Amino acid sequence: MLIFGLTGGIASGKSTVSRILEELGCPVVDADVLARRVVEPGRPAWRAIVGHFRDEILQEDGTINRERLGSIVFDDESKRKTLNRCTHPYIRREVLWELAKHFSKGSSYVVLVSPLLFETKYALHYMRQTIVVSCTDSQQLSRLMARDRLSKEEAVKRIEAQIPLSCKISWADVEIDNSGSRLETRGQVQHLVENMKRLSHCRLILFRTLIAVFASFMFVVFSFFAVS
Ligand SMILES: CC(C)(COP(=O)(O)OP(=O)(O)OC[C@H]1O[C@@H](n2cnc3c(N)ncnc32)[C@H](O)[C@@H]1O)[C@@H](O)C(=O)NCCC(=O)NCCS
Ligand SMILES: Nc1ncnc2c1ncn2[C@@H]1O[C@H](COP(=O)(O)OP(=O)(O)OP(=O)(O)O)[C@@H](O)[C@H]1O
Protein backbone atom coordinates (compact mmCIF):
# COMPACT_ATOMS: atom_id res chain seq x y z
CA MET A 1 0.00 0.00 0.00
CA LEU A 2 1.42 3.39 -0.99
CA ILE A 3 1.15 6.28 1.47
CA PHE A 4 0.85 9.84 0.20
CA GLY A 5 1.45 12.55 2.84
CA LEU A 6 -0.69 15.66 2.46
CA THR A 7 0.28 18.76 4.40
CA GLY A 8 0.18 22.56 4.25
CA GLY A 9 0.13 25.59 6.51
CA ILE A 10 -2.60 26.33 9.01
CA ALA A 11 -5.77 27.28 7.07
CA SER A 12 -4.13 26.74 3.66
CA GLY A 13 -6.92 24.32 2.73
CA LYS A 14 -5.99 20.77 3.86
CA SER A 15 -9.50 19.94 5.10
CA THR A 16 -11.00 21.38 1.92
CA VAL A 17 -8.76 19.11 -0.19
CA SER A 18 -9.34 16.18 2.15
CA ARG A 19 -13.13 16.53 1.69
CA ILE A 20 -12.75 16.56 -2.11
CA LEU A 21 -10.54 13.44 -1.92
CA GLU A 22 -13.20 11.64 0.11
CA GLU A 23 -15.93 12.71 -2.33
CA LEU A 24 -13.81 11.20 -5.11
CA GLY A 25 -13.69 7.91 -3.16
CA CYS A 26 -10.07 8.22 -2.08
CA PRO A 27 -8.98 6.53 1.19
CA VAL A 28 -7.98 9.27 3.67
CA VAL A 29 -6.53 9.23 7.20
CA ASP A 30 -6.75 12.69 8.77
CA ALA A 31 -4.41 13.31 11.74
CA ASP A 32 -6.45 16.38 12.84
CA VAL A 33 -9.54 14.18 13.20
CA LEU A 34 -7.56 11.57 15.16
CA ALA A 35 -6.07 14.36 17.30
CA ARG A 36 -9.61 15.21 18.42
CA ARG A 37 -10.39 11.54 19.14
CA VAL A 38 -7.38 11.00 21.43
CA VAL A 39 -8.37 13.86 23.75
CA GLU A 40 -11.88 12.61 24.51
CA PRO A 41 -12.56 12.64 28.29
CA GLY A 42 -10.83 9.88 30.21
CA ARG A 43 -8.42 8.88 27.47
CA PRO A 44 -4.66 8.90 28.28
CA ALA A 45 -3.91 12.09 26.26
CA TRP A 46 -6.81 13.87 28.00
CA ARG A 47 -5.43 12.81 31.40
CA ALA A 48 -1.95 14.04 30.46
CA ILE A 49 -3.34 17.41 29.28
CA VAL A 50 -5.42 17.90 32.42
CA GLY A 51 -2.35 16.92 34.50
CA HIS A 52 -0.29 19.70 32.88
CA PHE A 53 -2.81 22.44 32.16
CA ARG A 54 -5.19 21.82 35.11
CA ASP A 55 -8.98 22.08 35.20
CA GLU A 56 -9.04 25.61 33.78
CA ILE A 57 -8.91 24.17 30.23
CA LEU A 58 -11.95 21.93 30.87
CA GLN A 59 -15.58 22.68 30.03
CA GLU A 60 -18.45 21.69 32.32
CA ASP A 61 -19.01 18.37 30.50
CA GLY A 62 -15.34 17.40 30.98
CA THR A 63 -14.31 18.00 27.37
CA ILE A 64 -11.33 20.19 26.60
CA ASN A 65 -11.99 23.85 25.88
CA ARG A 66 -10.06 23.93 22.62
CA GLU A 67 -10.35 27.67 22.21
CA ARG A 68 -8.79 28.28 25.63
CA LEU A 69 -6.09 25.63 25.22
CA GLY A 70 -5.32 27.01 21.74
CA SER A 71 -4.85 30.54 23.05
CA ILE A 72 -2.49 29.21 25.76
CA VAL A 73 -0.29 27.06 23.55
CA PHE A 74 -0.04 29.36 20.55
CA ASP A 75 1.13 32.10 22.91
CA ASP A 76 3.94 30.07 24.47
CA GLU A 77 6.23 27.67 22.61
CA SER A 78 7.19 25.65 25.70
CA LYS A 79 3.51 25.03 26.50
CA ARG A 80 2.91 23.99 22.90
CA LYS A 81 5.78 21.51 23.21
CA THR A 82 4.20 20.19 26.40
CA LEU A 83 0.86 19.74 24.60
CA ASN A 84 2.65 17.97 21.75
CA ARG A 85 4.26 15.58 24.24
CA CYS A 86 0.84 14.87 25.74
CA THR A 87 -0.83 14.15 22.41
CA HIS A 88 1.58 13.15 19.65
CA PRO A 89 2.43 9.61 20.85
CA TYR A 90 -1.31 8.79 20.95
CA ILE A 91 -2.01 10.47 17.59
CA ARG A 92 0.83 8.41 16.04
CA ARG A 93 -0.68 5.22 17.47
CA GLU A 94 -4.13 6.06 16.03
CA VAL A 95 -2.58 6.93 12.65
CA LEU A 96 -0.82 3.55 12.54
CA TRP A 97 -4.02 1.75 13.47
CA GLU A 98 -6.04 3.55 10.75
CA LEU A 99 -3.34 2.83 8.15
CA ALA A 100 -3.37 -0.84 9.18
CA LYS A 101 -7.16 -0.93 8.72
CA HIS A 102 -6.83 0.43 5.17
CA PHE A 103 -4.06 -2.10 4.47
CA SER A 104 -6.19 -5.01 5.70
CA LYS A 105 -9.09 -3.82 3.51
CA GLY A 106 -6.78 -4.15 0.51
CA SER A 107 -6.43 -0.43 -0.31
CA SER A 108 -3.63 0.05 -2.82
CA TYR A 109 -2.96 3.58 -1.52
CA VAL A 110 -4.00 5.99 1.21
CA VAL A 111 -3.60 9.74 1.77
CA LEU A 112 -2.35 10.72 5.23
CA VAL A 113 -3.41 14.31 5.98
CA SER A 114 -0.95 15.65 8.52
CA PRO A 115 -0.53 19.39 9.30
CA LEU A 116 2.83 18.79 10.98
CA LEU A 117 4.25 16.27 8.50
CA PHE A 118 7.49 18.24 7.95
CA GLU A 119 7.69 19.55 11.55
CA THR A 120 7.51 16.09 13.15
CA LYS A 121 8.96 14.21 10.14
CA TYR A 122 6.74 11.33 11.33
CA ALA A 123 6.84 8.44 8.81
CA LEU A 124 8.23 10.81 6.17
CA HIS A 125 10.47 8.05 4.78
CA TYR A 126 7.45 5.87 4.12
CA MET A 127 5.67 8.45 1.97
CA ARG A 128 5.61 7.68 -1.74
CA GLN A 129 5.05 11.40 -2.34
CA THR A 130 4.47 14.49 -0.24
CA ILE A 131 1.74 16.90 -1.30
CA VAL A 132 1.40 20.47 -0.05
CA VAL A 133 -1.79 22.54 -0.16
CA SER A 134 -0.80 26.15 -0.73
CA CYS A 135 -2.31 29.62 -0.94
CA THR A 136 -0.80 33.10 -0.70
CA ASP A 137 0.38 34.44 2.68
CA SER A 138 -2.34 37.09 2.74
CA GLN A 139 -5.04 34.50 1.91
CA GLN A 140 -3.74 32.23 4.67
CA LEU A 141 -3.96 35.06 7.18
CA SER A 142 -7.39 36.32 6.13
CA ARG A 143 -8.91 32.82 5.84
CA LEU A 144 -7.58 31.89 9.29
CA MET A 145 -8.84 35.13 10.87
CA ALA A 146 -12.28 34.70 9.27
CA ARG A 147 -12.71 31.00 10.05
CA ASP A 148 -11.52 31.04 13.67
CA ARG A 149 -12.62 34.62 14.42
CA LEU A 150 -9.07 35.56 15.44
CA SER A 151 -7.39 38.96 15.61
CA LYS A 152 -4.48 39.54 13.23
CA GLU A 153 -2.03 39.16 16.12
CA GLU A 154 -3.51 35.81 17.23
CA ALA A 155 -3.58 34.49 13.66
CA VAL A 156 0.04 35.48 13.02
CA LYS A 157 1.12 33.61 16.18
CA ARG A 158 -0.58 30.44 14.88
CA ILE A 159 1.03 30.76 11.47
CA GLU A 160 4.44 31.32 13.08
CA ALA A 161 4.04 28.17 15.19
CA GLN A 162 4.68 26.16 12.03
CA ILE A 163 7.41 25.92 9.38
CA PRO A 164 6.69 28.64 6.76
CA LEU A 165 4.42 27.52 3.95
CA SER A 166 7.04 28.62 1.39
CA CYS A 167 9.51 26.03 2.82
CA LYS A 168 6.88 23.29 2.74
CA ILE A 169 6.15 24.16 -0.91
CA SER A 170 9.83 23.82 -1.80
CA TRP A 171 10.15 20.46 0.02
CA ALA A 172 6.97 18.77 -1.26
CA ASP A 173 6.84 16.63 -4.39
CA VAL A 174 3.44 17.95 -5.50
CA GLU A 175 1.68 21.28 -4.91
CA ILE A 176 -2.08 21.82 -4.88
CA ASP A 177 -2.51 25.54 -5.42
CA ASN A 178 -5.57 26.55 -3.39
CA SER A 179 -5.28 30.27 -4.08
CA GLY A 180 -7.99 30.15 -6.72
CA SER A 181 -11.62 29.05 -6.52
CA ARG A 182 -12.69 25.80 -4.87
CA LEU A 183 -13.61 24.52 -8.34
CA GLU A 184 -10.06 25.12 -9.57
CA THR A 185 -8.73 23.25 -6.54
CA ARG A 186 -11.12 20.37 -7.27
CA GLY A 187 -9.68 20.05 -10.80
CA GLN A 188 -6.16 19.75 -9.41
CA VAL A 189 -7.29 17.15 -6.86
CA GLN A 190 -8.90 15.05 -9.61
CA HIS A 191 -5.59 15.08 -11.44
CA LEU A 192 -3.77 14.14 -8.22
CA VAL A 193 -6.07 11.14 -7.64
CA GLU A 194 -5.43 9.86 -11.19
CA ASN A 195 -1.69 10.13 -10.56
CA MET A 196 -1.87 8.32 -7.20
CA LYS A 197 -3.91 5.51 -8.80
CA ARG A 198 -1.38 5.22 -11.64
CA LEU A 199 1.55 5.01 -9.20
CA SER A 200 -0.13 2.42 -6.99
CA HIS A 201 -1.15 0.39 -10.06
CA CYS A 202 2.49 0.32 -11.27
CA ARG A 203 3.58 -0.90 -7.83
CA LEU A 204 0.93 -3.65 -7.94
CA ILE A 205 2.09 -4.86 -11.36
CA LEU A 206 5.73 -4.88 -10.19
CA PHE A 207 4.76 -6.85 -7.06
CA ARG A 208 2.80 -9.44 -9.09
CA THR A 209 5.66 -9.80 -11.59
CA LEU A 210 8.13 -10.43 -8.75
CA ILE A 211 5.82 -13.09 -7.27
CA ALA A 212 5.47 -14.75 -10.69
CA VAL A 213 9.26 -14.76 -11.23
CA PHE A 214 9.83 -16.21 -7.75
CA ALA A 215 7.15 -18.91 -8.27
CA SER A 216 8.69 -19.88 -11.65
CA PHE A 217 12.13 -20.10 -10.09
CA MET A 218 10.85 -22.36 -7.28
CA PHE A 219 9.07 -24.53 -9.86
CA VAL A 220 12.33 -25.00 -11.83
CA VAL A 221 14.26 -25.83 -8.64
CA PHE A 222 11.66 -28.40 -7.47
CA SER A 223 11.43 -29.93 -10.98
CA PHE A 224 15.22 -30.29 -11.06
CA PHE A 225 15.29 -32.15 -7.72
CA ALA A 226 12.29 -34.29 -8.67
CA VAL A 227 14.04 -35.46 -11.88
CA SER A 228 17.51 -36.08 -10.33
C1 LIG B 1 -4.19 23.51 20.08
C2 LIG B 1 -5.55 22.87 19.90
C3 LIG B 1 -6.23 22.64 21.22
C4 LIG B 1 -6.42 23.88 19.06
O5 LIG B 1 -7.65 23.27 18.76
P6 LIG B 1 -8.55 23.86 17.54
O7 LIG B 1 -9.83 23.08 17.56
O8 LIG B 1 -8.66 25.35 17.70
O9 LIG B 1 -7.74 23.61 16.20
P10 LIG B 1 -7.54 22.23 15.39
O11 LIG B 1 -7.26 21.10 16.31
O12 LIG B 1 -8.67 22.08 14.43
O13 LIG B 1 -6.17 22.52 14.62
C14 LIG B 1 -6.15 23.51 13.60
C15 LIG B 1 -4.77 23.63 13.04
O16 LIG B 1 -3.89 24.20 14.01
C17 LIG B 1 -2.57 23.78 13.73
N18 LIG B 1 -2.04 23.13 14.96
C19 LIG B 1 -2.68 22.37 15.86
N20 LIG B 1 -1.86 21.95 16.82
C21 LIG B 1 -0.64 22.47 16.52
C22 LIG B 1 0.63 22.40 17.15
N23 LIG B 1 0.79 21.69 18.28
N24 LIG B 1 1.65 23.04 16.57
C25 LIG B 1 1.50 23.76 15.43
N26 LIG B 1 0.31 23.86 14.78
C27 LIG B 1 -0.74 23.22 15.33
C28 LIG B 1 -2.67 22.75 12.60
O29 LIG B 1 -2.43 23.37 11.37
C30 LIG B 1 -4.11 22.32 12.65
O31 LIG B 1 -4.56 21.85 11.39
C32 LIG B 1 -5.46 21.55 19.10
O33 LIG B 1 -5.04 21.80 17.79
C34 LIG B 1 -4.52 20.53 19.73
O35 LIG B 1 -4.88 19.85 20.66
N36 LIG B 1 -3.28 20.40 19.18
C37 LIG B 1 -2.32 19.41 19.63
C38 LIG B 1 -2.35 18.20 18.76
C39 LIG B 1 -1.74 18.48 17.42
O40 LIG B 1 -0.53 18.66 17.30
N41 LIG B 1 -2.58 18.54 16.35
C42 LIG B 1 -2.15 18.87 15.02
C43 LIG B 1 -1.37 17.79 14.36
S44 LIG B 1 -2.18 16.26 14.29
N1 LIG C 1 -10.25 27.95 -2.48
C2 LIG C 1 -10.80 28.58 -1.45
N3 LIG C 1 -11.43 29.76 -1.62
C4 LIG C 1 -11.97 30.42 -0.56
N5 LIG C 1 -11.95 29.96 0.72
C6 LIG C 1 -11.35 28.79 0.93
C7 LIG C 1 -10.74 28.03 -0.12
N8 LIG C 1 -10.21 26.91 0.41
C9 LIG C 1 -10.46 26.95 1.73
N10 LIG C 1 -11.14 28.07 2.06
C11 LIG C 1 -11.58 28.47 3.41
O12 LIG C 1 -10.39 28.76 4.13
C13 LIG C 1 -10.51 28.28 5.47
C14 LIG C 1 -9.37 27.30 5.76
O15 LIG C 1 -9.55 26.13 4.97
P16 LIG C 1 -9.39 24.67 5.61
O17 LIG C 1 -10.17 24.57 6.87
O18 LIG C 1 -9.65 23.67 4.53
O19 LIG C 1 -7.82 24.74 5.94
P20 LIG C 1 -6.92 23.71 6.76
O21 LIG C 1 -5.57 23.74 6.12
O22 LIG C 1 -7.58 22.39 6.88
O23 LIG C 1 -6.88 24.43 8.17
P24 LIG C 1 -6.24 23.89 9.57
O25 LIG C 1 -4.75 23.90 9.38
O26 LIG C 1 -6.63 24.91 10.57
O27 LIG C 1 -6.81 22.55 9.84
C28 LIG C 1 -11.89 27.66 5.60
O29 LIG C 1 -12.78 28.60 6.16
C30 LIG C 1 -12.28 27.35 4.16
O31 LIG C 1 -13.68 27.37 3.95
pLDDT at 25 (0 to 100): 96
* pTM (whole model) above 0.95: no
How confident is the model at residue 161, as a pLDDT? Answer: 97
Q: Choose which CATH entry (3.90.78.10, 3.40.50.300, 3.40.50.1390, 3.50.50.60) describes domain 34-106.
A: 3.40.50.300
Q: Is the beta carbon of 34 within 6 A of some atom in ligand 1?
A: no
Domain segments of the chain as ranges: 1-27+109-145+164-228, 34-106
CATH tag, 1-27+109-145+164-228:
3.40.50.300
- What are the pLDDT tens digits along the chain (228 aa)? 999 999 999 999 999 999 999 999 999 999 999 999 999 999 999 999 999 998 889 999 999 999 999 999 999 999 999 999 999 999 999 999 999 999 999 999 999 999 999 999 988 889 999 999 999 999 999 999 999 999 999 999 999 999 999 999 999 999 999 999 999 999 999 999 999 999 998 777 777 788 888 888 888 888 888 877
The yes-or-no answer to whether 1-27+109-145+164-228 and 34-106 have a common fold is yes
Ligand 2 pocket, Cβ-based, cut-off 6 angstroms: 8, 10-16, 32, 115, 143, 147, 178, 181-182, 185
CB 199 within 8 A of CB 127: no
- The Cα–Cα gap between 138 and 216 comes to 60
Å from CA of 171 to ligand 1 middle: 22
- Whether 15 is in the pocket of ligand 1, judged by its Cβ within 6 Å, is no
User: Does the CB atom of residue 73 touch ligand 1 within 6 A?
Assistant: yes
139, 144, 145, 146: CA torsion to nearest 10: 90
Q: What is the pLDDT of residue 210?
A: 82
Per-residue model confidence (pLDDT) at position 217: 84
CA 96, 101, 104, 107 torsion-angle sign: negative
Angle, CA of 133, 152 and 156, to the nearest 5°: 50
| C-alpha to C-alpha distance for 216 and 206, rounded to whole angstroms | 15
